[in-house]
């Protein structure tokens, strides 16, 4: 049975967090590299490097929890706004400019009303949204099994050296060292990717002593003088990052550890929208029950459960303006929705041992008659594992409330699904639904 480092799994899954934050894929991995280089430069002990690594890879673990709130407050694409925030200043003028730029295309009276609300309660709203994100990120880190040191560092990542950060306004050395290392490293990578290395170095220099710890910016800038940012394109980057994990590896047969990480990322996905609640967890419970009922066991049963937990991972790349829309979607919005199984597949395929999991996740919107998405596969291409997760996904969605309709009863959902059996969903899997105990879990 294969083995992989925990960091390899987290690095692959962190791409979904990059998408949610409006950053390019690989931002968390680049942040981890920069943070580890800085940690080495200032002489942190080897045993601390793993904590630096996990803090960097999971720094945005709480990002999905405030996506709906950001969309509600500003009324626009949450990923676009977060990308703008990541390079915005924090002065009143900077925030005002960001607010005006971020107003949706609404009639002028509605825009004025939104600006007034932001002016009156913007600081309080921002603090609440940031606090939710930070607390959620810390909780996810604990669920995965990270140390309290890592969880606290994630909680305090948006604090600033001068005490003007969020959500608690910590100052100086009261901010954990891990937070300070990862924050300046993330900022350097964001500005380097958006505005180029020269501007990135200038911003870090200008924010030294305000946003960032001056005792960290100096050695980081010295590393940049030595070509640090050029190293982000190195083919050996991943191996350097993963080396911080030491010899810590998961046997792929260790279902408990794999399941814990997959379950934590399922929670991140479900937190993206107030309408999804525990969707991924329930789909996994239903799919596992169906798989057992249909005779799957061992590796195949494990793959079904992990595939079900992570089937919607690509939805972290879908804006909440689409996910939570109550009106019918426009064709271009449907095109975005239809990309999410493809994104799930692309992210999961980075993990060699997740090949079967990636295919299961990719197929949850395919149909037996070939009219599904994103590849329009036919029945011959859809194995039992994919059919199980597709049925579990449809049943859970139909029996849960959505922004465009109320929840159906299990009986009504089953009746509708039976009518579509044979062309949309597999009849033998639907037939097993009534025998699964976890439907109402």
Residues 252, 5 contacting (CB under 8 angstroms): no
Query: Mind listing the pLDDT tens digit for each residue in 374-425?
Result: 999 999 999 999 999 999 999 999 999 887 788 999 999 999 999 988 899 9
Contact 411, 355 (CB under 8 A): no
Strand partners, 251: 3
pLDDT at site 403: 78
Print burial letters for 204-235: b (CB count within 10 Å at least 16), e (below 16).
beebbeebbbeebbeebbebbeeebbebbeee
Please tell me whether residues 293 and 378 are part of one structural domain.
yes
In terms of domains, do 421 and 408 share one?
yes
Distance CA 422, CA 312 (A): 24
Q: What is the pLDDT of residue 115?
A: 56
Residue 73 covered by a domain: no
Stretch among 85-94, 221-230, 252-261, 277-286 having the lowest mean pLDDT: 85-94
Residues 318 and 235 in one domain: no
Task: Return the pLDDT at 254.
Answer: 64
Q: Tell whether the model's pLDDT for residue 95 goes beyond 60.
A: no
Q: Which residues of 35-71 are buried (b: 16+ CB within 10 A; e: fewer)?
A: bbbbbbbeebeeeebbbbbbbbbbbbbbbbbbbbbbb
Provide the pLDDT for residue 161. Answer: 98
Alpha helices in 145-254 (DSSP H): 148-155, 177-195, 197-206, 214-225, 237-243
Q: What is the pLDDT of residues 349-365, one digit of tens each?
A: 999 889 999 999 999 99
pLDDT in tens, 37-80: 999 999 999 889 999 999 999 999 998 887 776 666 666 666 77
Rounded CA-CA distance 218/369 in Å is 61
Q: What is the pLDDT of residue 68?
A: 72
Domain containing 370 equals: 252-435
Q: Are residues 273 and 299 in the same domain?
A: yes
Residue 99: per-residue pLDDT: 52
What's the pTM value of the predicted model, to 2 decimals? Answer: 0.88
CATH code of the domain in which 211 resides: 1.10.3210.10
* Residue that finishes a domain, picked among 249, 272, 305: 249
Within this chain, do residues 337 and 260 fall inside the same structural domain, yes or no? Answer: yes
Q: Based on the domain organization, do 415 and 314 belong to the same domain?
A: yes
Q: What is the mean pLDDT of the chain?
A: 88
One domain, residues 281 and 202? no
Band (84; pLDDT cuts 50, 70, 90) = low
In a domain, 173, yes or no: yes
Output the furthest CA–CA distance in the chain (Å, rounded).
67
Spatial distance between the Cα atoms of 110 and 4, rounded to a whole number of angstroms: 52
What mean pLDDT comes out for the span 121-129?
A: 68
Alpha helix segments (H runs only) across 207-354: 214-225, 237-243, 255-270, 279-293, 298-309, 320-323, 331-337, 340-348
Q: Does some domain include residue 72? A: no
Confidence band, pLDDT 50/70/90 cuts, at residue 256:
confident
pLDDT digits (tens, 9 = 90+) for 18-35: 998 889 999 999 999 999
Q: Has residue 103 been placed in a domain?
A: no
How many Cα atoms sit within 13 Å of 199 on the Cβ side?
9
Q: Does 144 share its domain with 190?
A: yes
Q: Is residue 78 part of a domain?
A: no
Taking the alpha carbons of 195, 199, 204, 208 in that order, is the dihedral positive or negative? negative
Asked if 33 and 160 count as a contact pair (C-beta separation under 8 A), the reply is: no
Do 34 and 189 contact (CB within 8 A), yes or no? yes
Catalytic (active-site) positions:
315
Q: Is 60 exceeded by the pLDDT of residue 122?
A: no
> Is residue 105 pLDDT above 80, yes or no?
no
pLDDT, position 6: 87
Residues 419 and 348 in one domain: yes
Q: What angle do CA 7, 273, 10 make, to 5 degrees?
A: 5
pLDDT of residue 92: 42
Total count of domains within the chain? 2
Q: Are residues 213 and 143 in the same domain?
A: yes
122 inside domain: no
Within-domain flag for 348: yes
The sign one gets for the Cα dihedral 133, 79, 403, 422 is negative
Give a yes or no: residue 89 inside a domain: no
Looking at the structure, tell me whether residues 244 and 259 fall in a common domain. Answer: no
Instruction: Indicate whether 208 and 269 sit together in one domain.
Output: no
Report which of residues 184 and 112 the model is more confident about.
Answer: 184
Confidence of residue 93 (pLDDT cuts 50, 70, 90): very low
Look at residues 228, 249, 270 and tell me which one is the last residue of a structural domain. 249
Query: For residues 406 and 217, what is the distance between their CA atoms, to the nearest angstrom?
Result: 53
Whether the upstream peptide bond of residue 391 has omega within 30° of 0, thus cis, is no
Instruction: Out of 232, 249, 266, pick the residue that ends a domain.
Output: 249
């Amino acid at each position: 049975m294969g083995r992989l480092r925990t960091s390899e799994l987290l690095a692959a899954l962190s791409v979904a967090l990059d998408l949610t934050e409006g950053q390019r894929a690989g931002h968390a991995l680049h942040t981890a590299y920069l943070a580890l280089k800085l940690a080495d430069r200032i002489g942190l002990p080897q045993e601390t490097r793993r904590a630096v690594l996990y803090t960097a890879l999971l720094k945005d673990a709480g990002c999905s929890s405030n996506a709906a709130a950001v969309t509600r407050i500003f009324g626009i694409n949450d990923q676009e706004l977060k990308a703008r925030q990541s390079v915005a200043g924090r002065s009143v003028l900077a925030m005002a400019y960001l607010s005006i730029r971020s107003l949706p295309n609404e009639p002028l009276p509605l825009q004025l009303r939104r600006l007034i609300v932001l002016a009156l309660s913007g600081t309080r709203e921002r603090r609440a949204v940031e606090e939710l994100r930070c607390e959620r990120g810390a909780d996810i880190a604990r669920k995965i099994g990270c140390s309290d040191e890592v969880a606290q560092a994630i909680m305090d990542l948006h604090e600033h050296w001068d005490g003007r950060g969020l959500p608690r306004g910590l100052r100086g050395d009261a901010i954990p060292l891990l937070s300070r290392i990862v924050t300046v490293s993330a900022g350097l990578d964001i500005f380097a990717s958006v505005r180029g290395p020269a501007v990135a170095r200038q911003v870090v220099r200008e924010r030294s002593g305000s946003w960032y710890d001056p005792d960290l910016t100096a050695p980081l800038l010295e590393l940049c003088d030595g070509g640090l940012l050029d190293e982000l394109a190195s083919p050996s980057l991943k191996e350097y990052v993963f080396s911080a994990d030491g010899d810590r590896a998961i046997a792929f047969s260790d279902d408990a550890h794999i399941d814990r990480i997959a379950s934590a990322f399922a929670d991140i996905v479900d937190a993206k929208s107030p309408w999804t609640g525990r969707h991924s967890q329930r789909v996994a419970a239903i799919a596992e029950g169906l798989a057992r009922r249909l005779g799957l066991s061992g590796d195949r049963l494990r793959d079904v459960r992990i595939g079900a937990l992570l089937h919607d991972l690509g939805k972290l790349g879908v804006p909440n303006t689409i996910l939570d829309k109550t009106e019918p979607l426009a064709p271009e919005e449907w095109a975005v929705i239809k990309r999410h199984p493809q994104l799930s597949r692309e992210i999961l395929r980075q993990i060699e041992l997740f090949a079967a999991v990636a295919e299961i996740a990719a197929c949850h919107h395919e149909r037996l008659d070939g009219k599904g998405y994103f590849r329009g596969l036919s029945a011959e291409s859809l194995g039992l594992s994919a059919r199980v997760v597709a049925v579990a996904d449809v049943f859970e969605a139909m029996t849960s409330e959505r922004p465009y309709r109320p929840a159906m009863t299990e009986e009504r959902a089953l009746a509708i699904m039976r009518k579509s059996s044979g062309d949309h969903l597999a009849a033998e899997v639907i037939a097993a639904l009534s025998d699964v105990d976890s439907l109402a879990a």
